[in-house]
Amino acid sequence: MNRDRSGLTGTPKKGIYYGWYVIAALFFASFLAIGSRQGFGVFVKTWEEEWGVSTAAISVAAATGWLMNGFSQPLVGFLTDKYGGRPVLLISLTVMAVATIGVAAISNVFGLIVLYGFVISFASGGISPATTGVVVARWFDRKRGTAMSILIAGGSAGGLIIVPFLSYVLIEYGWRTAWVIIGALALGLGIPLLLLVVRSKPSDIGLYIDGEEPQVTEDGEIEVSVRPVGPDFVDRWKDALSSKLIWQLSFAYFVCGITTASISVHFVRWAISEDISTGTAALAFGLLSAINAAGVLVVGTLSDRWQRKNLLGAVYLIRGLAFISLIVVPGSQAIWAFAIIGGMSWLATVPLTASLTADVYGVRNLGTLFGLANMSHQLGGAGAVLLFGWAFTRLGSYDIPFAVGAATLVVAGIVSFSIGEKKHSVRYVQIPVGGAVDSDLTAGDQGGR
């Protein structure tokens, strides 16, 4: 029989598709990884006072972290494409967990730069959408947007629960205890869950994409129909770099990094400068995350029906309004206005960008390509964290950085709306591929073509 490298379809299998269990395990891993990184800002003021350093100095550690995390993204994405997501996830979370516990032993900003900035941040790249998103894309096709949004909601849940929790532990028991608890959770729960549940692709346990079963012909042979490919599906990741769309997505994601990183590190510090307590700021960020968890699920579901690029553009513009609220609304009201408006858009860019990348270029090289987009995201974040910290130390206010963030979001929205999704996505333009496949070739083995 003829082998074809596209996704496969067949008869839907009854019962709960195992891919949803994979989503649940990845949800928890993202809950820990993203939630703990978003909680960094809770400790900024404490470290300033304990170590006698400025906001700018702490920002160096955070910026280094975003930079190293960005550099790790294409690498872990490439390794995921080559070896599968499961081993990359397990190794990354193990290193991250041990190093997180180790943070409790540091006594100055230089230790923070080394352990958090380099080790933890590089390892956390392996728990990013460059790996988790690839696993999801290989388990789901028809409900890819929904599945991606559930995964990313794990990060929102992390912000909702972990950030206020870290604030509580900081106040009651100290910052060292907070880092030990997060690392222990990853070691005790996160790693066993990944080990027991997650598989890189459906064929690893004899399943097919979307939980479908192949047709059995009258003569007993297994045959499956072949899903069409898109006009821009690539066999080599480098081929995608010559197209305009990958650069549009990466630029918009660069802006996403600027705005999410700056808030994750400086939001609590901004609140304190407005005479708002750390606990209140953490609760506001928790509200933002709660709204975002619902928003991400709505956006993900809609993205399976509407053009993803239009939703992406709207998300950036809504976030721009949130940044403007921090400038024009009084601080005690701005913190809640930002939480509500920003919550509508916070992590919604991730499933949209990842799904659109898969729709246009296929899943064979998704780890590498989305890893490059994630690198641009983290590079933008690293620069923003550093410059926001410098601006606050120099000017005593975040107004100018927030205005710059709002302006970049408007540009990112316009760029996203300009993406030619109907010309490039397999959802709208399909190239028929005929033929059946051998009975030993399962849907999980299918790559970008």
Q: What is the mean pLDDT of residues 61-85?
A: 89
Specify whether the CB–CB gap between 227 and 164 falls below 8 A. Answer: no
Q: Considering only CA atoms, which of 413, 425, 426 is closest in space to residue 248?
A: 413
Distances (CA, A) of 14 to 87, 203, 220, 225, 265: 29, 18, 21, 19, 46
Is the pLDDT assigned to residue 176 strictly greater than 90? yes
Q: What is the pLDDT of residue 10?
A: 47
Distances (CA, A) of 308 to 149, 354, 355, 356: 12, 10, 8, 7
Q: Residue 342 is part of a domain; what is its CATH number?
A: 1.20.1250.20
Structure tokens at 36: 């703990």
Those residues whose C-beta lies under 8 Å from the C-beta of residue 156, and which sit 6 or more positions away, are: 289, 290, 292, 293, 296, 346, 347
Q: Is residue 164 part of a domain?
A: yes
Q: Is residue 365 part of a domain?
A: yes
d(CA 143, CA 93): 27
Specify whether the CB–CB gap between 380 and 67 falls below 8 A. Answer: no
How many folded domains does the chain comprise?
1
Q: Considering only CA atoms, which of 229, 267, 193 is closest in space to residue 362?
A: 229
d(CA 150, CA 159): 15
Q: Is residue 284 part of a domain?
A: yes
Distances (CA, A) of 189 to 130, 133, 196, 198: 22, 21, 11, 13
Map residue 296 onto helix, strand or coil. helix
Residue 108: pLDDT band (50, 70, 90) is: very high
Q: What is the pTM assigned to this prediction?
A: 0.75
Strand partners, 212: 12
Q: What is the pLDDT of residue 33?
A: 87
Region of residue 285 (phi > 0: left; psi between -120 and 50: alpha; otherwise: beta): alpha
Q: What is the mean pLDDT of residues 239-257?
A: 92
Q: Is residue 447 part of a domain?
A: no
For 35, the domain range is: 18-202+229-427
Q: What is the mean pLDDT of residues 223-243?
A: 77
Kindly report the average pLDDT of the chain as a whole number: 85
12-63 pLDDT per residue, tens: 556 789 999 999 999 999 999 888 887 888 898 899 999 999 888 888 888 8
Q: Is residue 49 part of a domain?
A: yes
More confident residue, 106 or 223: 106
Strand partners, 213: 11
Structure tokens at 86: 């499961």
Specify whether the CB–CB gap between 105 and 409 falls below 8 A. Answer: no
For the chain, report the end-to-end CA distance as a whole number of angstroms.
17
Q: Is residue 301 part of a domain?
A: yes
Q: Is residue 214 part of a domain?
A: no
Residue 295: pLDDT band (50, 70, 90) is: confident
